[in-house]
Amino acid sequence: MTEFWLISAPGEKTCQQTWDKMNMATSQTNLSTNHKFNIPELKVGTLDVLVGLSDELAKLDSFVESVVRKVAQYMADVLEDSRDKVQENLLANGVDLVTYVTRFHWDMAKYPIKQSLKNISEIMSKQVSQIDNDLKARASAYNSLKGNLQSLERKNVGSILTRSLADIVKKEDFVLDSEYLITLLVVVPKTSYPDWQKTYETLSEMVVPRSTKLLFEDQDSGLFSVTLFRKAIDDFKHKARENKFMVRDFQYNEEEMKADKEEMTRLSTDKKKQFGPLVRWLKVNFSEAFITWIHIKALRVFTESVLRYGLPVNFQAMLLQPNRKNVKKLREVLQDLYKHLDSSATVIDASMDIPGLNLSQQEYYPYVYYKIDCNLLENYF
């Protein structure tokens, strides 16, 4: 499972004892794989600030997770045919996400612990908001390019009733620059080839005899050219339609066709040029956003533990990776282990709507609990 439970419980005589007790109760019976989650000594501040911060961190956690998922999913979009490579590009500090989370260490350079918790959370918020804004701008530019290219590509595939004919017809297929004659292109169902050959010369007056030629075929139809006098166009089109022959609205224009081909080449080149830098940006900023997200989880555990267990700061943060088959059992064991915390004076009753603790919005347990799900593309493929 790529799901982790980040929990904390108050230190007993020592925090090590808290860890040993939980570890013995869960890992020996194969309920979970456990890791200590190291949170440095952060500045506590006042209770009022902590209560307000608890609310803000809940919103920030949700926002940052949404950005992490957006970057991951856009990486999958951009990598198109190499989606199996998506996972190997979703790294945090150069390692896979599970390794990063299980070996988490607070980044002192990015988030100096001498700063207040509020300042640290504001730094995190600014960083991730910038990533979110940059992602929107980059995605919009790349999607527009990709969309224009796909639209041109779509014109070159599909039924000959609708597709572009630029790469099918040649200059020599047409009578050009004639005051009186014109070449039309007609789509004829394969089953009607004999009818076409028999009737095309008599569909209207002024059709040049033996002027038809099969230029291209797809699964269902063929594209035929036919030459006639300009004054007979409307009559010919009308009679052709009655016989289920479709005249394509097409004029041979070398300049226009050349411009289309050049536009397609330009868009294709631009897309290739943007692809590398965009993937690099996504890798770097996914890592940044994910690292920030896990630091926010650490901040939440710290804040909530102080609010629940009181001062001086004395708790052990622990990361559990549940065994998929034993999730329910693990929850029961943790309940037994920590149910005494619920009746202590420092614990808030879950039924009370207390600002700061968000109890009504989330699952409530006698121990501090947050979920970290490293499977960021679960519903994507």
Question: Residue 44: which CATH number?
Answer: 1.20.1460.10
Structure confidence by residue, pLDDT tens digits, 251-278: 888 888 888 888 889 999 999 999 999 9
Q: Are 129 and 26 in a shared domain?
A: yes
Q: Are 235 and 324 in a shared domain?
A: no
Q: Are 13 and 141 in a shared domain?
A: yes
Which tokens go with 72? 């991951």
pLDDT of residue 379: 56
Burial (CB < 10 A; 0-12, 13-18, 19+), residue 334, is: buried
Q: Sign of the C-alpha dihedral, residues 30, 33, 39, 44?
A: negative
Residues 346 and 306: their CA atoms lie apart, in Å, by 10
Rg (CA), the chain: 34
Does 146 fall in a domain? Answer: yes
Q: What band does 9 get if pLDDT is binned at 50, 70 and 90?
A: very high
Q: Please state which of the ranges 35-49, 335-349, 361-375 shows the lowest mean pLDDT.
A: 335-349
pLDDT of residue 159: 87
Does 132 fall in a domain? Answer: yes
Q: What band does 164 get if pLDDT is binned at 50, 70 and 90?
A: confident
Chain-centre distance of CA 234, in angstroms?
52
Q: Are 132 and 225 in a shared domain?
A: no
Does 301 fall in a domain? Answer: yes
Q: Are 141 and 280 in a shared domain?
A: yes
Could you identify the residue written with the tokens 């860890």? Answer: 19
Q: What band does 343 get if pLDDT is binned at 50, 70 and 90?
A: low
Domain boundary among 217, 251, 285: 251
Burial (CB < 10 A; 0-12, 13-18, 19+), residue 343, is: exposed
Peptide bond into 194 cis (omega under 30): no
Burial (CB < 10 A; 0-12, 13-18, 19+), residue 260, is: middle
Q: Are 186 and 289 in a shared domain?
A: no
Q: Residue 90 is which amino acid?
A: L
Burial (CB < 10 A; 0-12, 13-18, 19+), residue 254, is: exposed
Q: Are 208 and 288 in a shared domain?
A: no
Averaged pLDDT, 48-68:
95
Helical segments of 28-116, H only: 47-79, 86-89, 97-102
Q: Are 303 and 209 in a shared domain?
A: no
First to last CA, the chain: 18
Q: Are 122 and 182 in a shared domain?
A: no
Domain boundary among 251, 282, 311: 251
Domain boundary among 251, 279, 296: 251
Q: Are 7 and 71 in a shared domain?
A: yes
The parent domain of residue 202 ranges over 172-251
Q: Do the Cβ atoms of 257 and 156 come closer than 8 Å? A: no
DSSP H/E element including 43: none
Does 350 fall in a domain? Answer: no
Q: Are 138 and 194 in a shared domain?
A: no
What CATH number is attached to the domain comprising 218? 3.30.70.100
pLDDT of residue 81: 65
Does 355 fall in a domain? Answer: no
Per-chain mean pLDDT for the chain? 90
Does 207 fall in a domain? Answer: yes
Within 8 A by CB and 6+ apart from 175, the residues are 181, 182, 183, 227
Averaged pLDDT, 202-216:
95
Could you identify the residue written with the tokens 């968000």? Answer: 358
Q: Are 13 and 131 in a shared domain?
A: yes
Q: Does 354 score more than 60 pLDDT?
A: no
- What is the number of structural domains in the chain? 2
Q: Sign of the C-alpha dihedral, residues 39, 45, 46, 52?
A: negative
